[in-house]
Amino acid sequence: MNLLEVKDLRKTFTLHLRGGLQLAVLRNISFSVAAGECVALVGPSGAGKSTLLRTIYGNYRAESGSVTVMHDGELVDLTRVPPQQLLVIRRHSIAYVSQFLRVIPRVSTRAIVASVLKDQGVRSPDADARAESILLTLNLPLRLHGLPPATFSGGEQQRVNLARALVTDHPVLLLDEPTASLDAENAAVVLSLIQDAKRAGRAIISIFHDPDMTVRVADRQIPITSLTENDR
Amino acid sequence: MSYRPVPILMARDLTLSFGTLRALESVSLEIYPGEVLAIVGESGSGKTTLLNTLYGVLAPGAGEVRFGENGELDRCVQTLPRQQLRHLHRSAWGYVHQNPRDALRMEITAGGNIVERLMAAGEKHYGTLREKALFWLQKVEIDPKRIDDLPTTFSGGMQQRLQIARTLISHPYLLFMDEPTSGLDVSVQAGLLDLLRNLVSEQRMAVILVTHDLAVARLLAGRIAVMQRGRIIETGVTDQVLDDPQHPYTQLLVSSVLPA
């Protein structure tokens, strides 16, 4: 069963401050991801892999085409839903891990991770316990849970970001270089969590900076190529 | 598609002029239960004017604001009798001012400020009022020992927390906020943002938040509306509008922010 279907997706940026310069990034992107499957987006830097992930999540607005996601038992086109519904679908059905952690300053790491569950209606002690558990799995020791992540290293912040997406059971998971700042040991933990997510029937789309990771965890590769003048 | 949320407030074609100045130009928007909508733009773009028109303390030259709690927008702010509007402002709606001194009564104690709405609603029992005041002081993270102190002895951040407690005690379903964190030190701002986020999600309130600070909008609001010269020029999911702005003015606004 497909949990995500991307069809004829197209994205151009118009830079009004640069005299209306048009940047064509995505053209004719079509693929689907089934439950329990991990697909890797591969291609040269600047080809538009991150833009594709963000357009699927609705962080960037699709110019045309569709992004259909399984939400609450039905397929919904994210490019057509009203903002209120997109927010509900993100809360329950599609999660995205960017390369950057953006949170309210001075809030504890535990609270940041638990808030994702609380937004889904999970109560406080349970949400906190699940947050602690995933943070520990990601090798973030208990003594860090009460601290805000602002002073953490890049790798630690990236694991907090991953914890936010892995603490829930969103059926569709979008990962942008989830292991980029991690050492081998922590990268292996993330790899095994992705394997767990696949076994749990989640659909994963990921960009890996390390080709070896792609080979080890991805069931398929989707090539994203830089556009030439002819494509525009 | 079965999903059809019903707004609790809807404004249609609001237009308002101050003399020859057009402050609002056919502004329409909707607020849904439990959501935070940020209204952003430069000073002078009409944000606060819009907020005050929605709230009913400014009368538009044209257009109307309808509202209702039970899935029907059966009441109109502009035609509501004055007394009913005043009652609404004291109970089901709340307004948090940029400057807490515009809302607080500086000559009565912190506790007295907090329970004013309850007393207006008829609560007279001293023990109950005191208990509620203590509860809300704790909720906004003010030392309960300060209950009998005057707000004049409080810092700016504490006064703002006091204003929030005093407003939320009646459990409003709709909260209007005008730059609630902008008069505060950044260190105080972070704590207040966290408090607001938690209270909003806990109380399931809808919030209309006016701010010039795009970072505040990003952290608190699900949706955003960008204003320029009295018009809403772009709206959408907050991160979408801030990360992929479509309108030339929004692109300018977003690219003008200094990265922290």
Q: Where are the alpha helices (DSSP H) in A94-223?
A: 109-119, 124-137, 142-145, 154-166, 184-199, 211-217
pTM of the entire structure?
Answer: 0.93
Q: Which of A61, A102, A107 sits opposite B240 (nearest CB)?
A: A61
Is B240 in the A-facing interface, judged by CB distances under 8 Å?
yes
| C-beta separation of B148 from B96 below 8 A | no
- Mean predicted confidence (pLDDT) in B80-105: 95
Q: Is B182 helix (H, G, I), strand (E, B) or coil?
A: coil
- Closest Cα of chain A to B84: distance in Å? 30
Closest B-chain CA to A102: B219
Q: Do A59 and B255 touch (CB under 8 A)?
A: no
- Mean predicted confidence (pLDDT) in B56-73: 93
Residue of A77, A84, A90, A116 to mutate when probing chain B, most B C-beta within 10 A = A84
Strand A2-15 vs strand A21-34: parallel, antiparallel, or unpaired?
A: antiparallel
Q: Which of A17, A87, A119 sits opposite B201 (nearest CB)?
A: A119
For residue B61, give the nearest of B47, B78, B73, B76 by alpha carbon: B78
| C-beta separation of B228 from B45 below 8 A | yes
Q: Is the dihedral of CA B183, B188, B193, B196 positive or negative?
A: negative
- Checking if the pLDDT of B28 tops 70, the result is yes
Residue of A11, A14, A16 to mutate when probing chain B, most B C-beta within 10 A = A16
Using the structure block, give the residue that is written with the tokens 């500086």: B106
Q: What is the ipTM of this complex?
A: 0.92
Q: Do B3 and A17 touch (CB under 8 A)?
A: no
* Tokens matching residue A166: 């892995």
- Checking if the pLDDT of B2 tops 80, the result is no
Start-to-end CA span in chain A (Å): 34
**Angle, CA B41 vertex, CA A19 and CA B101 arms, to 5°:** 160
- Average pLDDT over all residues of chain A: 94
- Closest Cα of chain A to B217: distance in Å? 11
d(CA A56, CA B193) in angstroms, rounded, equals: 29
Q: Which residues of A touch B247 (CB under 8 A)?
A: 16
Top-confidence residue, B197 or B137? B137
- Reported as a single tens digit per residue, the pLDDT across A31-50 is 999 999 999 999 999 999 99
Which pLDDT score, from 0 to 100, does residue B165 have? 94
- CA distances in angstroms from A10 to A85, A94, A220, B46, listed in the order given: 22, 20, 22, 35
Is A15 in the B-facing interface, judged by CB distances under 8 Å?
yes
- Mean predicted confidence (pLDDT) in A85-108: 91
SS3 content of chain B, % helix, strand, coil (to 5): 40, 25, 35
Looking at chain B, the whole-number percentage of residues with pLDDT higher than 90 is: 80
- Reported as a single tens digit per residue, the pLDDT across B205-222 is 999 999 999 999 998 999
Q: What radius of gyration do chain A's Cα atoms show?
A: 18
- Checking if the pLDDT of B64 tops 60, the result is yes
Q: Is A11 helix (H, G, I), strand (E, B) or coil?
A: strand
Q: Do B3 and A88 touch (CB under 8 A)?
A: yes
Find residues 84-103 of chain A whose CB sits inside 8 Å of chain B.
Answer: 84-88, 102-103
* Tokens matching residue B119: 């007393």
- Checking if the pLDDT of A21 tops 80, the result is yes
Q: Do B35 and A87 touch (CB under 8 A)?
A: yes
- Closest Cα of chain B to A184: distance in Å? 31
| C-beta separation of B31 from B206 below 8 A | yes
Neighbours of B161 (CB within 10 A): 24
- Closest Cα of chain B to A219: distance in Å? 30
Is B246 in the A-facing interface, judged by CB distances under 8 Å?
yes
How many whole angstroms from its chain centre is CA B161? 14
Q: Which of A14, A17, A118 sits opposite B201 (nearest CB)?
A: A118
- Closest Cα of chain A to B33: distance in Å? 10
| C-beta separation of A106 from B186 below 8 A | no
- Checking if the pLDDT of A163 tops 70, the result is yes
**Angle, CA B65 vertex, CA B60 and CA B71 arms, to 5°:** 180
For residue B39, give the nearest of B258, B243, B253 by alpha carbon: B253
* Tokens matching residue A57: 């999540």
d(CA B192, CA A83) in angstroms, rounded, equals: 26
- Checking if the pLDDT of B1 tops 80, the result is no
